[in-house]
Amino acid sequence: MFFLTQQDPNFRIKGSRDPLGFQTIWQSLGRNVIKYLSTVSNNLKDFQVLSYAWYFYGDRDPNHFLKFFYKFEQACGFARGEYIKDDRFNGIDFVRKNLENNSFTFSTRNQDALLSNQRSYGIFGKYNRPFTEINIKGQVDFYSVMENALRSKVDYTELERKVDKLLSEPVSTASKEDIKIFADILNNITDKEREFYKKLLLQVDGSHVQNELFDLFQNNSELYESDSFNLYSFIDALMQKDISEELERELVEIKKSEQVLTPYVYLFKNLQSKPFWEYSQIDIEPIFNSFPKSFDHDYRKDVLHQLNINLGEKNTLISTTVVRRNIDVCKKRGNSPWIKIEDDKLMICYADGSKIFTEFNKETDFEHNYFLPSYISMYKQIMLKI
């Protein structure tokens, strides 16, 4: 038997992927180019699962939607794992471990959950925000597009019967043969679905530079053909095209902002690689040889303007700047800081992501992607059927 003690408040780290609070900065800049997609909403099948679930749920009480959606997501997950072999989604590890079973159960019970927290880490947690902000379910043609797609792919009456079981039964049981129909509705998209998702995920109503990005992709396949993504080279490639002043302004702001943020991210990780630092040690760290001495750019955000100025300071001051930022961020979150300043020393409290960086390239290395890879991925899936 295992016993878990109460969590140590000094080890209670929240927002561990964003200890410097940079997420809100780069996200706000990224939203000026990619309005709705997030870093994790990059699988069209996941959007389909959420769309089909809402289609079948209809005008029932939305407060009880999740009870149905957990089961619907589980049925689709096992169907994807069994019949769509190259598919990737959160929960696939649980699915693979249980594919040898003769039957599967779908419910809101912990033992049937695809993930430790299916709501937060599953499709709902990853896709509900863009799905809601785009108002996918509220489109006038939503129900007609979904119904026509489903009827063209499978025996609609049989599918409806299986979904009704998920709606009415607290615990549903199904065989591999039973769930194949859920794979069949996700294996491809119809032309009307493609047009529906194109106008909502790839384009934006009104005047927005995302529409210009879509047109650029339509006419320049080299922009999305690479299997790897580099923020700076992608922006440079866009800048070589005939683009509007507005898009150019947004791209320059993103590039210049990331060139300021990335050195601080690398430095903070590097500082976590030792239990404590004397200021004299910090002063001779080789990572500072790669630091830019500030950029000649008028940043819109005051925080970026100040971080840029601080790049020209002494190495110890740059280090205390990044540590004090972490302290301020943690204080606002009600957490303990990752690094403390005590007696002119830096004391490491938490070493998540620690790594020794001796150098980096400010022209190629980046930490944040500004939703651009998500857009590229969605474009390929919708427009190229990849």
Query: In the structure encoding, which two tokens stand for residue 218, read together?
Result: 């339509």
Q: Residue 352's pLDDT is what?
A: 75
Q: Using an 8 Å Cβ cutoff, are 237 and 222 in contact? A: yes
Average pLDDT over the chain, rounded to an integer: 93
Q: Is the pLDDT of residue 9 over 50?
A: no
Average pLDDT for 97-110: 95
How sure is the predictor about 356, in pLDDT bands with cuts at 50, 70 and 90? confident
Q: Which amino acid is at 236?
A: D
| Residues with Cβ within 8 Å of residue 285, at least 6 apart in sequence | 270, 315
pLDDT, one tens digit per residue, over 215-253 is 999 999 999 998 899 999 999 999 999 999 999 999 999
Give the tens place of pLDDT for each residue, 155-167.
Answer: 999 999 999 999 9
Q: What is the DSSP letter of 172?
A: E
Residue 143 has pLDDT above 60, yes or no: yes
Instruction: Report residue 136 as tokens.
Output: 């996918």
How far is the CA of 376 from the CAs of 87, 183, 190, 225, 231, in angstroms?
A: 18, 24, 20, 9, 12
Average pLDDT estimate for 85-110: 94
pLDDT at 351 (0 to 100): 79
* Predicted confidence band of residue 126 (pLDDT cuts 50, 70, 90): very high
Digit-coded pLDDT (tens) for 33-83? 999 999 999 999 999 999 999 999 999 999 999 999 999 999 999 999 999
Q: What is the pTM of this model?
A: 0.91
Helix axes 44-57, 142-153, angle to 10 degrees: 100
pLDDT bracket for residue 2 (50, 70, 90): very low
Mean per-residue pLDDT, 329-341:
93
pLDDT score of 16? 57
Distance CA 61, CA 55 (A): 13
| Structure-token pair, residue 225 | 């053909």
Nearest to 327 by CA among 252, 244, 271: 271
* Mean pLDDT calculated for residue range 283-295: 93
Give the helix, strand, coil percentages of the chain, each rounded to 5: 55, 5, 40
Specify whether the backbone of 7 is left (phi greater than 0), alpha (psi in -120 to 50) or beta.
Answer: beta
Tokens, residue 219: 């006419």
- CB proximity list for 71: less than 8 A, separation 6 or greater: 106, 107, 108, 166, 172
353 pLDDT above the threshold of 70: no
pLDDT range class, residue 288, cuts 50, 70, 90: very high
